[in-house]
Chain A
Amino acid sequence: MITIDFDELTEGGRVHNLTGRDLGRRAREQLNLEELDKSDDEVRILVPDHIYLITPSFFIGMFAASVSLQGSLDKFFQKYKFESEPSVLRQVHDAAKRVLSVANKGASAPF
């Protein structure tokens, strides 16, 4: 299993939120999610307790393509296992649902 620690994205707790589509996109590139999406590996996402917020735009920038590729919430969360505070987990679930509802409508989404 591969582990991604979101603490890195906050430079060890200098901020307590992950906000913005650009930051999400940058994280996706830096962490090679494109490659991870294609692999059979499961990915453990560690969200430290000091992070209280992952915004939908950050999630979309980082994971929208992964959610669309997996095609369902179950499959996405089987591959990407988030370990976080319950409130943050709810934010992640809501954002993933939103991505999927747009993907299912077949909208031309410029993720």
Chain B
Amino acid sequence: MDTICYDIGPYLLLGVMRQHMIPNCDGGIISQGLSKVLQAVQLDRLFDMATVKHFDGDVFPFPLKTGARESTDETHFGVTTKQRAVDQFVRALEGWLAKLELGISPDGRGHIGEIIGEAIDNAERHSGGTSGEGRWWMAGFMTTRYKANGAATYHCHFGLLSLGCSIADSILLAPDEIRKQVVGYTQKHKSKNLSEGTLAATYALQDGITRQPPGGVGMMSLLDMVSVLGKTDKGVKASVAIVSGDACILAREPYIQPSLELSDARTLWFNESNSESEKPSEDFVKTLPYNFPGTLVTLRFQIDPDHLKRLVRGSKRKHDNN
């Protein structure tokens, strides 16, 4: 039994699944730390959990949001659930950073909003296939943990789940020139341990690889954001897990920061030379023995205030010198 929440993703998925399960089972045991997180992010509603009063306020939630692709034949503009979720996420992250006496510049706010907005937009358009609903769920939180010497550390967790098409299903609907690249890569590296679907999902993460060009920069931007915000020499290393179809891709050191190629496209091939012509490491890219009908992206990183303050000072100096 987990005593704390190490990863929000599985709980998000289990909560959604539970809505479709016959309620034959009831009761169970959960640790206080985990119950506090699930209540704070409002996942307890999906689990039908009893409410327990928690007195310490060390969980800062981004509560559960859900939405779906909205009708495009409306005669008025309307505000979408996705737009509200983006604003709420940006406000939550600003709030988390404010607790550490850190702020976000207008460019930073736009950048973070763009990454989340594009991630939800992808979840709606791609997991829904060509005509599907594209339903998604997301939730996250920051929590404070204390070391033996009393020093506080700050940990952020976020999960985005969409059901329907997997990344591999979706990318195979791309225009010919992109589909050919994907197929070329999967044929070159497929093996007993790496399926074509897993390799197609890996290829689809790279900049510019999208079902509907132009675009396809969302996943590399997400990895960039997590590797920058979560950089620390003295704590838990940042990681991002992507489960889609039969693919399970784990981005963490040394393979989490995309590298910028001469063509301006960022890549992450999960091998030492970051090369498309070499197969990805099976420690980071795995084929599951089952097919997950959708995509779960779940991430965690520790905010190191000293690192972020150094980063801000460095970028100010660079800006002033220019």
Contact = CB atoms under 8 A, between A and B. Distances in A.
A56 B215 contact: yes
A102 B79 CA distance: 29
Interface string A1-43: 0000000111100111111111101110010000000000000
Contact of A57 (B69, B105, B121, B175): B121
A101 B216 CA distance: 13
B107 interface: yes
Q: Which of B77, B118, B212, B213 has the most CB of A within 10 A?
A: B213
A87 B107 CA distance: 5
Contact of A26 (B77, B114, B177, B213): B77
B286 interface: no
A91 B72 CA distance: 24
A27 B77 contact: yes
B117 A19 contact: yes
Contacts of A52: 90, 106, 109-110, 113
Interface residues of A, number: 39
Nearest to A102: B214
A11 B79 contact: yes
B83 A17 contact: yes
Q: Which of A8, A20, A87, A98 has the most CB of B within 10 A?
A: A20
Interface of A is mostly: helix
Contacts of B175: 107-110
Contact of B121 (A20, A86, A98, A99): A20
B87 to A, nearest CB: 5
A110 B212 contact: yes
A102 B117 contact: no
B110 A20 contact: no
Interface string B194-236: 0000000000000000001111010000000000000000000
B77 A8 contact: yes
B48 interface: no
Contacts of A23: 77, 80, 83
Interface of B: 69-70, 72, 74-80, 82-84, 86-87, 90, 105-107, 109-110, 113-114, 117-118, 120-121, 124-125, 175-177, 212-215, 217
Closest 4 A/B residue pairs (Cβ): A19-B117, A102-B214, A87-B106, A53-B113
